[in-house]
Structure 1
């Protein structure tokens, strides 16, 4: 590992220039201005505030710093082996969803700030404007991010459990409950409208300029406008494995048949699935910025989001719940190790079929969840001993 570490400003990722075997110099330090989530194309607020980082689930951080030459450990805390959701990092805190409970840690030193009681938090959290939104059975709870105290709680009568909510600008939440989706006021929990769809809805639904994109276990994809009217509907040949990722031109989702599917939305909606590519299971979600990235049981894949053409692959292991995380010119991903790649070398195509590697960080076992990026730090849940699993902060 290099002894000197430089830091990269987070922001827009340039289009891929090709594959290379040697990395260009890391980007210069600096930081972009924190975006306005009401105006940002992905609904970003500068934080890793939800399952997919921002409103569109692109797993791309909008501003800040991140290590690109190597990492040192800031702190680590124990985590259970059985986890279903990755951590979320926002406003100086790291939120770890453990089974039936949510724990909040200080991002500086790893000290626990608060934790919910058992059975009071069962979904991935959404953090916006000092409030943590989390589902528990048939309830949606709004918690103070600093203290964990309850601001309000809403009970739903629909059959099914509350899945992780999502938002675009923060003033309204989209809340899946079984086959129902509700749009509610983020300050009060009062309902604006509700719709019944076909199949149990996944949580952490991505939001964009057209509204909210919802996936169901029955293999349906819906796009509903802000007023609840339908904009598009598609049928997938298999059950989605994770919430979709969207950008201005497409919807991307990984499914149980080990394929990733692309739906182009730059024109009027059609019934067609435009492409599919074998990527293996990628339960941790997909990343997109210029190109689409999937990581899971068949390693790391770079895909042209317009055509589904597989641009390159990289062997990172076969752990399905890790997922790529993007900064301006660096792609972080877990698996057998924590990897940092340079996917956009200015030198163009050289020999080799994969990206240049900036660095790697080994643990006793695989990186199981993450990486998550926030305020100059990386967060992963990794196996650190024969039977030990920990949330690790790296800088």
Structure 2
């Protein structure tokens, strides 16, 4: 939507110009040296956030933490980026991709396009898939709005494996490894056997269920509704554990770490639910403005907001450690890896998230401008950033940057 986006800088079709480490803010500290790139193994049975080593769902993993291996590990471009490939997308593209096992799954107005991560070529395509899928192993789980139904597809070909019809339009799914697939449809949340689609349990909530609920501590799912409720339900049987009423509708799926569930609402506030020793209940609130792209969590920090400023918040106390101006754009969210936070907005930013603070903000590793705003995305997988950006007066692309 070019008319909504502010001109930044023209970029050629074959190359990107990288600007390293210059913030223009007096007193901003220098970034620390990032660790060497590495890809540590992940044990899915013991990974508290349900990570599988890929950016395999909306928020990377079942907790929506937006961090594949943790903030201090993984591979990432920390000195600047070059373009590997680009694929044209609609200016209305409002979903970030999911990336797993050499495939990029991009859902949006044009349905679900599955691309080869090596060169961006189209492998297969399915209409009417608007929400990000969950990819586990060789299966892709999608919410089909046209049926309406939840479907499981083969990751390599898109061939159907099973289909379960829903009375209302389903929204984006979530799944913790070894647990049921969680999908909202209307005012009901359904738990389905990922192998067969058989219903494990179903529960009615107050308000329309929102997409991609995170899993908290590996045993409970935090389901938000457009009525402003967040319900903590047992993954095994859907039994209610706790319910919180918020003053406004959430603007994006919540995120969860081992201590709390975090959610940003239309009132411009980010809420921490469950930070007390009992494991649930109001903990803190911070005025952050809001985002549609999601929150990120790692190393005791919650990264929230994108309309104006990104905030780094102490997850225990709610104290803001730093803020960084990213421009008036709400279609971005942070991606974390190799001691670097990547976020869009008025450009692509790479920040050193745990250094600096105060009015100066975080150190800048590099910044990259495009013709217009950056986002949805970025997401980070295998050392490559995938992000949607406005690349010309009337052009928008999904870019693979490394």
TM-score under structure 2 length normalisation: 0.88
Structure 1 portions without partners, runs of 5+: 5-18
Across the aligned residues of Structure 1 and Structure 2, the Cα RMSD in angstroms comes to 1.9
Whether 1:176 aligns to 2:184 is yes
Aligned length: 372
Whether 1:193 aligns to 2:193 is no
Q: Which residue of 2 aligns with 1:125?
A: 133
Deviation of residue 73 (structure 1)? 0.5
Which of 349, 363, 372 does residue 370 from structure 2 map onto? 363
Which of 311, 320, 327 does residue 317 from structure 1 map onto? 327
Deviation of residue 276 (structure 1)? 1.4
The answer to whether the 8 Å contact 1:279/1:298 transfers is no
What CA deviation, in whole Å up to 9, does each residue of 1:38-85 have, x standing for no partner?
210111000001110000000011164111111110000100011232
Deviation of residue 2 (structure 1)? 7.6
What CA deviation, in whole Å up to 9, does each residue of 1:343-389 have, x standing for no partner?
223xxx58852110001111111102100111110000000000100
Q: Which residue of 1 aligns with 2:101?
A: 91
The answer to whether the 8 Å contact 1:248/1:266 transfers is no
Task: Measure, in 1, the Cα distance between the counterparts of 2:36 and 2:192.
Answer: 42
User: Which segment is superposed worse, 259-268 or 357-366?
Assistant: 259-268
What CA deviation, in whole Å up to 9, does each residue of 1:103-129 have, x standing for no partner?
01100011111111x33x232211111
Q: Which residue of 2 aligns with 1:13?
A: none
Question: In 2 relative to 1, CA 352–280 (structure 1 residues): closer, same or farther, beyond 3 Å?
Answer: closer
Whether 1:333 aligns to 2:339 is no
Question: In 2 relative to 1, CA 195–72 (structure 1 residues): closer, same or farther, beyond 3 Å?
Answer: same
The answer to whether the 8 Å contact 1:162/1:175 transfers is yes
Whether 1:250 aligns to 2:257 is no
Whether 1:79 aligns to 2:79 is no
Q: 2:304 aligns to what SS in structure 1?
A: strand
Q: Which residue of 1 aligns with 2:296?
A: 287
The answer to whether the 8 Å contact 1:171/1:187 transfers is no
Structure 2 portions without partners, runs of 5+: 1-16, 21-26
Deviation of residue 3 (structure 1)? 11
Q: Which residue of 2 aligns with 1:203?
A: 211
Task: Measure, in 1, the Cα distance between the counterparts of 2:195 and 2:179.
Answer: 7
Deviation of residue 161 (structure 1)? 1.0
Q: Which residue of 1 aligns with 2:360?
A: 353
Task: Measure, in 2, the Cα distance between the counterparts of 1:2 and 1:372.
Answer: 19
The answer to whether the 8 Å contact 1:68/1:359 transfers is yes
Please list every run of at least 4 consecutive aligned residues from structure 1 whose deviation after the TM superposition is greater than 3 angstroms.
1-4, 349-352
Q: 1:369 aligns to what SS in structure 2?
A: coil
TM-score under structure 1 length normalisation: 0.90
Whether 1:40 aligns to 2:40 is no
Matches within 5 A, 1:95-106: 95-99=105-109, 101-106=111-116
Whether 1:222 aligns to 2:231 is yes
Task: Measure, in 1, the Cα distance between the counterparts of 2:271 and 2:187.
Answer: 22
Task: Measure, in 2, the Cα distance between the counterparts of 1:371 and 1:203.
Answer: 19
What CA deviation, in whole Å up to 9, does each residue of 1:227-276 have, x standing for no partner?
21111110101100011000011110010111111112453255x43221
Matches within 5 A, 1:156-175: 156-157=166-167, 160-175=168-183
Deviation of residue 298 (structure 1)? 2.2
Q: Which residue of 1 aligns with 2:401?
A: 394
The answer to whether the 8 Å contact 1:20/1:351 transfers is no
Task: Measure, in 2, the Cα distance between the counterparts of 1:230 and 1:267.
Answer: 19
Task: Measure, in 2, the Cα distance between the counterparts of 1:299 and 1:350.
Answer: 14
Q: 1:103 aligns to what SS in structure 2?
A: strand
Q: 1:367 aligns to what SS in structure 2?
A: coil
Deviation of residue 165 (structure 1)? 1.1
The answer to whether the 8 Å contact 1:340/1:358 transfers is yes
The answer to whether the 8 Å contact 2:64/2:254 transfers is yes
